[in-house]
Amino acid sequence: MKILLVEDDNMHADFLMEIVENALPEFDEILVAHNGKEAEKLANLHQISAVVMDLRMKEHNGIEAARTIWAERPHTRILFWSNYSDEAYLRGITRIVPDQAAYGYVLKTATPDKMRLALRAVLIEAQIVVDREVHQIQAQQMRSRSALTEFEYLILLDLALGLPDKAIAMRRKLSLRTVQNRLLSLYDKLEVESQDQNEMGIVLNKRTRAVSSAIARKVINREGLISANKELSAWLAGQPVPLD
C-alpha cells in the first residue's frame, strides 16, 4: 500500500517519514509532496487512499488539495496536521469532507505517541479523530451565543468577497429581508455595533468592520478566502467549482 505525506517544511517532512515508518508498517511505499499541487498530481497518479496533509503551505494549501483529492476519490482517508487550531480551518475542512470519508485533525504539538494513535485510527481503522484542543474549540463554538451559524458564515464570506445584499440573496437562494436579518445577527455576534461608536462622529463601514473583526477572531483566514473566491468565480460563470 502507498501513503502520501504532504508537507512543505523539510524538518516536519522528515519527522512524518520517521513516525509513519514506525507506526504504519502496512504501507510499503511512502510518497512525499511539498505543496498542494504536487499532492493532487501524486494522489491521482498513484491512486492514493491514505494521506497526511499539512494545512498551511505557501503553494496551494491543504484544504484546496484535499478538496480536489476527495472530489476524485471520496473514500480517501486524510489526516490533517497543523500548527493552527483556528475556527477558520475547522470550518474549511467540515465544508469539504465527504460523508463517506474518514479524516482527522491533529496539531503539530501532539506527542509522537498521540500522532501514532491518530495515524492508525484514521488511515487504518477509518475513524474520525480530532485533537483535544481542536475539539474544545468546536465545543466552544457550539455553546457560545456568539457562534456563527453556517448561513451566517457563508454570508460573511460573501461580504468579504464584496457581494452586495441582493447578490447574496440570489446566490444563497434567500429573500433580501432574510439576508438583511442575518447581517444584523452577524454584526451583533462580531460586536460591530459597539465598535462603530467614536467621538469624532465618523461613520465606519459595518461590512468592512465585520470582515475585520472576523479575521481578528480567526473566523476567516487567507486559505478560506481563496477557496471562497474560487467558488464565487465558478458561481458567476455558472460552472462547477474548478478542481485546480
Q: What is the DSSP-derived secondary structure letter of residue 148? A: P
Q: Which pTM value belongs to this model?
A: 0.76
Angle CA 231–166–193, to nearest 5: 95
The pLDDT score that the predictor gives to residue 198 is 63
pLDDT in tens, 135-167: 676 666 656 667 888 889 999 999 999 999 999
Flag whether pLDDT at 196 surpasses 60: no
Q: In what order do the strands lie in the sheet with 77-82?
A: 29-33, 2-6, 50-54, 77-82, 103-107, 129-130
CB-based burial, 140-170: b 16+ in 10 Å, e otherwise = eeeeeeeebeeebbbbbbbbbbebebebbbe
pLDDT in tens, 69-118: 999 999 999 999 998 888 888 888 888 899 889 999 999 988 999 999 99
Q: What is the DSSP-derived secondary structure letter of residue 3? A: E
Angle CA 13–18–31, to nearest 5: 55
- C-alpha distances out from residue 34 to 39, 52, 67, 97, 238, Å: 7, 12, 17, 22, 33
Q: What is the CB neighbour count within 10 angstroms for residue 232? A: 19
Q: What is the CB neighbour count within 10 angstroms for residue 10? A: 10
| Lowest-confidence segment of 59-68, 100-109, 128-137, 222-231 by average pLDDT | 128-137
Going from the N-terminus, what domains does the chain have, and what CATH number goes with each?
2-141 (3.40.50.2300), 150-237 (1.10.10)
> Which residue reads 504504519 in cell numbers?
24
- C-alpha distances out from residue 71 to 64, 67, 115, 242, Å: 11, 6, 26, 10
Amino acid symbol at 151: F
Bridge partners, 31 (sequence order): 4
- C-alpha distances out from residue 192 to 28, 73, 176, 177, 187, Å: 54, 42, 21, 20, 5
The pLDDT score that the predictor gives to residue 217 is 86
C-alpha torsion sign, points 108, 114, 117, 118: negative
Instruction: Kindly state the cell numbers that stand for 226.
Output: 481563496
Coil, strand or helix at 222:
helix
Half-sphere exposure of 24 (CA within 13 A, CB side): 28
Confidence at 222, pLDDT banded by 50, 70, 90: confident
Confidence at 210, pLDDT banded by 50, 70, 90: very high
